[in-house]
Amino acid sequence: MAVTINADTSNGLVMTPDTSGEIKLQSAGADIATVTSSGITMASGKTLPAEALTGTLPAGMGGKILQVVSTTKTDTYTQNSNTFTDVTGLSVSITPASTSSKILILAVINGFAVGSYNFQGRLMRDSTAICIGDAASNRPRSSFQTMAYSNEHNEQIPIMHLDSPSSTSSVTYKIQVKSGSFIAINRTEIDRDTSNFDARMASSITVMEIAG
C-alpha cells in the first residue's frame, strides 16, 4: 500500500491510497517529490533548497559543492598606510546552509608597494583574520607578504584556504593590505599610457560552500 498526499486548494489535505509502493507529495495536484525505498526523487523542475541540508547528510553527499559566490575587482585601489585596511570592492558574502559546512576561499590579488618596501595582506572572515601565521613577539601576522622590484613590477598573490565558520548567518570574506609605503592594487606604480609594461589588472575572490 502507498499513498498520494496532495495539498489541495479546494479540499485541504487529500490522501489517495494506491498500490504503487511509493509516497507521492503534491501541491494543488502537481508533483513535488516521490519517496520510494531508494530515497527521495524531486519532480522535474523542483529542487531541494540548500537551507534544508542541515544535520547529518546522506551517504555520499559530504564534500559536495552547495553554492559558489564570486566577485572580481577590475578598478584600481591605492593606499599609504601601515595599518591593515580593507581593499575596496574585494569582498564577497555567503550564507552557509549548515553549521557543518566548510567554505573554500580562492583569491588572487595583483598589487605592489613602492620602492624597496614590502606589502602584507591578510584574509578576513568578517572582522577576524584567518589563514595567518602564528604570533611571534611583535611581528605582524599576515596571510602573505611580497615586494615589487621596480616601478613596472607587479606581484600576483594567490590565496587558498578552507574555513569552518560554523554559522548559518551571512559571512563576509575580504582582503586587507598594509605597507610602510604606497600600495596599489590592479596597476603598476608608474602607470603610464605609453608603455607596454604598465597593464591594468584584475583581482578576485571566490568562495564555495562545501557540504560537511
Instruction: Give the domain CATH number at 150.
Output: 2.60.120.760
Is 56 within the bounds of a domain?
Answer: no
Tell me which residue of 173, 73, 85 sits closest to 124, measured CA to CA: 173
Work out whether the CA dihedral 101, 106, 111, 115 comes out positive or negative: positive
- Residue 130 near residue 123 (C-beta atoms within 8 A): yes
Full residue range of the structural domain in which residue 32 is found: 2-48
- The size of the chain, in residues, is 212
Strands (E) across 9-64 are located at 12-18, 23-27, 30-36, 39-42
Cell representation of residue 15: 490522501
Q: What is the pLDDT of residue 1?
A: 43
128 and 206 co-located in one domain: yes
Average pLDDT over residues 10-24: 72
Q: Is the pLDDT of residue 195 over 80?
A: no
The better pLDDT of the pair 118, 204 is held by 204
Average pLDDT over residues 177-205: 86
Q: What is the pLDDT of residue 148?
A: 63
Average pLDDT over residues 1-17: 65
Q: Is the pTM of this model over 0.75?
A: no
Cell representation of residue 145: 607578504
Q: Provide the 10 A C-beta neighbour count for residue 160.
A: 11
Q: What is the pLDDT of residue 55?
A: 52
- Residue 199 near residue 101 (C-beta atoms within 8 A): no
The better pLDDT of the pair 179, 72 is held by 72
pLDDT tens-digit map of 78-110: 998 889 999 999 999 999 999 999 999 999 999
104 and 159 co-located in one domain: yes
